[in-house]
Amino acid sequence: MIRIAITGPESCGKTSLAEDLAKHYKTQSIPEFSRDFLMQTGGKYSQEDLDLIAKGQIESIENFNSGNILISDTDMVVMYIWSMVVYGKVSSYIQEELKKQQFDLYILCDTDVPWTYDPLRENEFDRDDLFERYYKKLRELKYNFIIVKGSPELRLQQAVEMIDKMSSETAKP
């Protein structure tokens, strides 16, 4: 199974890309657990809640059993950066899970798409700074990642090309 994580700042097209990839590969994407959690709390959360959100996301990933490609609409890099930005620190749980998570490819979505208002979003004016944090963290962790830019169609094309390349390489004897 090829495991893909979609990552990046708020309102940069992660969910759209995850859904487009799932449709392309005729599978399901794993939704962002935090959205349902925050809808239930009216958008309010504490640092301890971030661990609960991380656990919910991990459980969703572990329970996935549909097809030969896993597409997750978030990952522990998101949880790490979210906690650092809001609280200036990260729980040991999220740090450990970040070290343990295993995706074959991380797709970092650029901020070159318009901001879309959502009452759960917090960072309209610092997406470029956040993008740099994601980029630096992915490099620091030495994760295999690509950056996708442009229209939804172009982003999908960029992601599919890389995933198909990975699939053909893993299929070789």
**Which has more confidence, 54 or 126?**
54
| 101 Rama sector, left if φ>0, alpha if ψ -120 to 50, beta otherwise | beta
**Which has more confidence, 67 or 97?**
97
Residue-range definition of the domain harbouring residue 105: 2-171
pTM recorded for the entire structure? 0.91
- The CATH number of residue 128's host domain is 3.40.50.300
Provide the pLDDT for residue 169.
77
Provide the pLDDT for residue 168.
83
Element spanning 113, H or E: none
How many structural domains is the chain composed of?
1
Looking at the DSSP bridge assignments, the partners of residue 30 are: 72
pLDDT band at 171 (very low <50, low <70, confident <90, very high): low
For residue range 104-149, what is the model confidence (pLDDT) as tens digits?
Answer: 999 999 999 877 667 666 666 688 999 999 999 999 999 999 999 9
User: Tokens at residue 152, please?
Assistant: 């939804």
